[in-house]
Structure 1
Amino acid sequence: MVGGAGGQARVAVVGTGLIGGSVLLRLRDAGVDVAGWDPDPATRRRLGEQGVGAPDTVEEAVAGRDVVFLCGPLPTLPATLARVAATTDDSCVLTDVGSTKAEVATAATTQGLGHRFVPGHPMAGADRAGLGAASTGLLDGAAWVLCPGPTGMAAFRRLAALLIDVFHARVVPMSAPEHDSAAALASHLPHLLAGALAGTVQRSALRDAVLALAAGSFSDGTRVAGGPPERTANMLLGNRERVLAELDAVRAYLDDLAEALRAGDPGKLAGRLAEGRTARVALRGRAFTAHRREFPAAADHAGELAYLRELGAAGGHLTGCRVAGGAVTYTAHLPVTPPLG
């Protein structure tokens, strides 16, 4: 964990709900000098009771820090970014944990912060909210998307090293648009479908009978519907066009299933379900190959950036990032594609 002067990083977390609180508590337990800030005075008092400095203002919390995590609601991020940037040194790395990336990445570029803002998204969560739901283990080993930009490679390296060191993160480097496209299917649409299924049950005349029979399939399929509706709405609206496009694809797949069911065609129905099973099995059984790549630390970063984005788009991730001797070395993992047949 390298700070601005070569020592241990001093970190601040702005917004200490489920994700921000989990980031902060893990950093605290790792022995990192970390401060937190939340707009809720009661939450700031709770942070103080847990041994974390929690000043009354954002400016006090982020002053003199090497890294700042922005963890508030999605609509607030561009304004919070500007406020934090105005208070911190130009060498301070800024990142966020929001579930959509294109909008905040554009805001950072517009504000002239592309050299030190690295959009981020840890792929973890829970169906509860607030500091009381946060835990030191929530983000342990999580896939953590970072979106490196052409002027921000030094910031990306510092942040990636910290995440790997403290959180054992599998850092997934992607462009912001590619993240939002992938997250639409991996995260956002499942929230929408879970809400649709649970909402249909809520409207059913047999609601209580359905809930009496509900077991693993209903519980697993609707888990994320238990989260705060406002948080889910912000996420869906922040990625609206991509979610709507993927929703059309899901509708088309449902139409195929319905057509096979209506026709009483067991072969076609089983075939469509088998496609889904293939993806589900691959989720739990993927194998990876490891490799290392080295780039000059101070040279033109176009090749390094292209490599990182291609790695993430191919389903790969990083478990090592080390800068030494004028070079940056990545330890990377790519999924093995099983042979057909």
Structure 2
Amino acid sequence: MTTDASAPDPAGRWAGVRAAVVGTGLIGGSVLLRLRAAGLDVAGWDPDPATRRHARRQGVEAPETLDEAVAGRRVVLLCGPLPTLADTLLRVARAAPPDCVLTDVGSTKAELAAFATRHGLVDRFVPGHPMAGADSAGLTSATAALLDSAAWVLCPSDGPATAAFRWLAALVVDVFRARVVPMSPQEHDEAAALASHVPHLLAGALAGAARHAALRDAVLALAAGSFRDGTRVAGTPAARTASMLLGNRDRVLDGLAGVTAFLDRLAGALRAGDAASLTALYAEAEATRSALLARPFDTSVRVFPAGGDHAAEVAWLRRLGAGGGHLSACRVAAGTVSYTAHAPAGTAPA
């Protein structure tokens, strides 16, 4: 199958592919709507009967049982709450066809990946995490465009699972125009702790401090862009945030320690009236912010044999993602697999 995202209308080649989305809240609902817009034959299932009824009113197939929803599907995306994913994975694996590709969108990866390995599902399960969201919840907040152009982590494994990774990477690139970031589950959790999870702690701390301030109402009256941006994710449903933080607790605490150490340096310079040190520290922070907004990338194409044990391919993919790179295309043809890779300038993996 050709999966080159540079071809005209690459999403169109997925029309009619049978997919299912299990858990149709904000992320799952947005995935479902985008897959439907791309022409896939998609069903959604949610444990909440009211959510299933709402999906049907939107013209989405929403069977009453999970088994019905995943039967005969080519791919199933698990989008329920993080604590439910392990049990759901086993249920879906039993009910879906043996060649069905399984993935998830959970915010932590190592624990679920290890669970899948223990249960013999590594050949068909590709851990995933699209880095997108909103401070709202539920299918009524979902939008087909929510995940477009997102950084979407997929965790490749050696052996038969490499073929599942290739297939899924092509789907994600073609349908969502996402930047596929290939990483090991452990590296994902370490990076996501500082990129995503610690910011929830900081947003909660800032919003919580404002709530308990003596001039709380005045603080809120004066709050402008910096406060709104800094506290945005504090609007995420509290139970969802708690599950995310607890699911990656040790790495989040490590990341928080690094933030606290830098904050202590800022506070120390401020306390000492040391303008030079304070300016230097903020110059470091500004450089990182600038790199986030405008970072040059080198583009290359890497080709591997489609057969074999895939160890070199998976090692290269993981180095690319851990080094800040991503994929924009995957093509399997004539016994080879080729990836279009983008790495931060001067850092392309060997």
TM-score, normalised with respect to structure 1 = 0.96
1:7, CA displacement in angstroms?
8.5
Q: Does 1:119 align with 2:127?
A: yes
Q: Is the alpha carbon distance of 1:2 and 1:49 closer, same or farther for their aligned partners in structure 2, counting shifts above 3 Å?
A: farther
1:94, CA displacement in angstroms?
0.2
Q: Does 1:20 align with 2:67?
A: no
Which of 62, 65, 69 is the equivalent residue of 2:77? Answer: 69
Give the structure 2 partner of residue 88 of structure 1: 96
Q: Does 1:130 align with 2:159?
A: no
Which of 213, 228, 232 is the equivalent residue of 1:223? Answer: 232
Give the structure 1 partner of residue 9 of structure 2: none
Unaligned runs of 5+ in 1: none
1:185, CA displacement in angstroms?
0.5
Matches within 5 A, 1:261-300: 261-300=270-309
Give the structure 2 partner of residue 309 of structure 1: 318
What amino acid sits opposite 2:152 in the alignment? Answer: W
What amino acid sits opposite 2:266 in the alignment? Answer: L
Contact 1:2–1:162 at 8 Å: present in 2 too?
A: no
Distance 2:185 2:87 in 1: 19
Q: Does 1:34 align with 2:42?
A: yes
**SS across alignment from 2:197:** helix
Q: Output one character per residue of 1:133-158: Cα deviation in whole Å (capped at 9) or x when no partner.
A: 11010001111000011131000001
Distance 1:8 1:149 in 2: 27
Contact 1:98–1:121 at 8 Å: present in 2 too?
A: yes
Q: Does 1:44 align with 2:84?
A: no
Distance 1:137 1:240 in 2: 31
TM-score, normalised with respect to structure 2 = 0.94
What amino acid sits opposite 1:190 in the alignment? Answer: P
Give the structure 1 partner of residue 219 of structure 2: 210
Give the structure 2 partner of residue 332 of structure 1: 341
1:9, CA displacement in angstroms?
2.3
Give the aligned length. 336
Q: Output one character per residue of 1:195-241: Cα deviation in whole Å (capped at 9) or x when no partner.
A: 00000001112110000000000001000001100000000000000
Distance 1:267 1:313 in 2: 34
1:299, CA displacement in angstroms?
1.4
Distance 2:51 2:22 in 1: 12
User: Per chain length, whose mean CA-contact separation is higher, i.e. which structure has more relative contact order (CA < 8 Å, sep 6+)?
Assistant: 2
Q: Output one character per residue of 1:85-141: Cα deviation in whole Å (capped at 9) or x when no partner.
A: 011122110000000000110110011000000000001000000001110100011
Structure 1 runs of 4+ off > 4 angstroms? none
What amino acid sits opposite 1:92 in the alignment? Answer: C
Distance 1:303 1:90 in 2: 26
Contact 2:158–2:309 at 8 Å: present in 1 too?
A: no
Contact 1:115–1:155 at 8 Å: present in 2 too?
A: yes
Q: Output one character per residue of 1:262-291: Cα deviation in whole Å (capped at 9) or x when no partner.
A: 110000011111111110011001111111
What amino acid sits opposite 2:163 in the alignment? Answer: A
1:2, CA displacement in angstroms?
8.4
What amino acid sits opposite 2:133 in the alignment? Answer: G
Contact 1:2–1:9 at 8 Å: present in 2 too?
A: no
Give the structure 1 partner of residue 172 of structure 2: 163
RMSD of aligned Cα (Å): 1.5
Give the structure 2 partner of residue 242 of structure 1: 251
